[in-house]
Amino acid sequence: MDDVLQNIMDHAVAVAREAGQVVREALCDEKQRDVMTKSSTVDLVTQTDQRVEHLIIQSVKKKFPTHRFIGEESVAAGEACVLTDDPTWIIDPIDGTTNFVHSFPFVAVSIGFSVDKKIQFGVVYSCLEDKMFTARRVKEHSVTENHLMLFSSISDVRRSIIATEFGSNRETETVEKIFSSLRNILNIPVHGVRGAGTAAVNMCLVASGCVEAYYEVGVHVWDVAAGSVIVEEAGGVLMDVEGGPVDLMSRRIVAANNGTVAHIVKEIDAFSPTRDDAPPTQ
Ligand SMILES: O=P([O-])([O-])O[C@@H]1[C@@H](O)[C@H](O)[C@@H](O)[C@H](O)[C@@H]1O
Ligand SMILES: [Mg+2]
Ligand SMILES: [Mg+2]
């Protein structure tokens, strides 16, 4: 399986880089950043998100015709978000669409690959920074990135920077929960709170020692699938926001450099969005 998996991963890296070039070119063309909305007026999508996802899926289908897909924009168009044991590509064609629309410099192509419901490798290409983060689930740590800094060994959360996002749900109750968690984290106190505007890049910031932890409630499996293996293979830990094992379909995640910092979970005012794999409502 090793050579076969490496061949698949090599293709993921190549198609992520190709997709990143499409994103960079689209950034220069207002039309290709025209905004449409999905679950809320601030949950943005553009024709470029859709075009990049199509490019990736068609490229993979040619080489690996039996593989399955979970793509953010395919799910938005009505495809089921169901993870089977089959080889499955979990794709966020543009993670950080709001950043893309506003030319804010953190925009990633995120590709996770699953077999037997386990993420085998992750590829996150931060395409405006031209940083390619990859990791493959093997015994030894396998994270590669051309700018990887030292993984953070900080275990005192009062000396940490924590990353999070405000998401795209503006319902009063959700916003209250988000600010309640933010207040609790800030009052630890931590050195700072940051957000790149993309879950995948936030997780790569954990893996590269730039922040000590990232948490969010409201993400989707395509936001975090690739980053999950990049964090773990860098030596980090994943957890649910209330502690316990992470469930990538639950829309809740903590990614931390170590188990001590992961205890920020006790500060998070958790809630449970509708799961990614929930049956469609009639
Ligand atoms: O939509 P997208 O840009 O692919 O992904 C984004 C995530 O990376 C981010 O963590 C979340 O807060 C945003 O609401 C959005 O979901
Ligand atoms: Mg995303
Ligand atoms: Mg996206």
Q: How far is the CA of 246 from the centre of ligand 2 (A)?
A: 18
Q: What is the pTM of this model?
A: 0.96
Q: Determine the pLDDT at residue 232.
A: 95
Residue 153 token pair = 């060994």
72 is catalytic: yes
The protein residue with its alpha carbon nearest to ligand 1, atom 10, reads 199
Spell out the alpha helix ranges (H) of 121-213. Answer: 172-186, 199-207
Give the pairing of strands 237-239 and 252-256. antiparallel
97 is catalytic: yes
Q: Determine the pLDDT at residue 147.
A: 44
In contact, 87 and 115? CB cutoff 8 Å: yes
Amino acid at 145: E
Q: Determine the pLDDT at residue 242.
A: 96
Sequence spans of domains, the chain: 2-136, 157-267
Catalytic residue among 92, 145, 165, 232: 92
Amino acid at 276: D
188 is catalytic: no
Q: Would you state the CATH architecture of domain 2-136?
A: 2-Layer Sandwich (3.30)
Give the pairing of strands 213-217 and 161-164. parallel
116: left (phi over 0), alpha (psi -120 to 50) or beta: left
Residue 179 token pair = 């600010």
240 is catalytic: no
Which atom of ligand 1 is found nearest the CA of 202?
10
Instruction: Determine whether domain 157-267 maps to CATH 3.40.190.80.
Output: yes
Angle between helices 199-207 and 221-233 (to 10 degrees): 10
Residue 59 token pair = 């490229």
92 is catalytic: yes
Map residue 218 onto helix, strand or coil. coil
Mutation test of ligand 1: which of 165, 169, 177, 254 has the most ligand atoms closer than 8 Å to its C-beta? 165
For 148, counting Cβ atoms within 10 Å of its Cβ (0-12 exposed, 13-18 middle, 19+ buried), the class is middle
Q: Which residues of the chain have pLDDT under 70?
A: 1, 139-150
Which atom of ligand 1 is found nearest the CA of 44?
1
Give the pairing of strands 252-256 and 108-115. unpaired
Spell out the alpha helix ranges (H) of 79-195. Answer: 97-102, 172-186
Phi, psi of 248 (to 5 degrees): -65, -15
Amino acid at 151: F
Residues 6+ away with beta carbon under 8 Å from 157 = 188, 190, 212, 213, 260, 261, 263, 264
Residues bordering ligand 2, an ion, CB closer than 5 Å = 92, 95, 223
In contact, 110 and 98? CB cutoff 8 Å: no
Question: What CA–CA distance (Å, rounded) separates 189 from 140?
Answer: 34
Question: What CA–CA distance (Å, rounded) separates 28 from 161?
Answer: 33
Q: Is 165 in the pocket of ligand 1 (CB under 6 A)?
A: yes
For 62, counting Cβ atoms within 10 Å of its Cβ (0-12 exposed, 13-18 middle, 19+ buried), the class is exposed
CA distance to 188, 192, 237, per residue, from 182 (Å):
10, 11, 21
